[in-house]
Amino acid sequence: MMTPSEREQVKADLQAYVANNGLSIHDLAARMKAAGRKVDAKVLHRFLDRGLLVDDAVLTVYRGFVDHPG
């Protein structure tokens, strides 16, 4: 189970990735899918833009992408 600080770190890392690459949430989701990860753009948007909680399995996918995007 991820701690609140780990969750915030994943969010911060994803937001930095989006900012550094000039992406929209849909572009980010497409990149994640292209890298072989199962991602729902709506859930990603809710997590990043609206601050809603997502389960640890989804966060693990996000963390994996942040750590190894390609």
**pLDDT at residue 70 is higher than 80:** no
State how many domains the chain has.
1
DSSP 22: T
Pairwise CA distance, residues 5 & 33, whole Å: 26
Tell me how far apart the alpha carbons of residues 51 and 41 are, in angstroms, rounded to a whole number: 14
d(CA 1, CA 22): 31
Give the structural domain span for 29: 4-67
Q: What is the mean pLDDT of residues 25-52?
A: 94
Q: Give me the CATH number covering residue 50.
A: 1.10.260
Confidence of residue 32 (pLDDT cuts 50, 70, 90): very high
Distance of alpha carbon 30 from the chain centroid: 11
pLDDT for residue 1: 85
User: How confident is residue 30, by pLDDT bands cut at 50, 70 and 90?
Assistant: very high
* 3-class SS of residue 37: coil
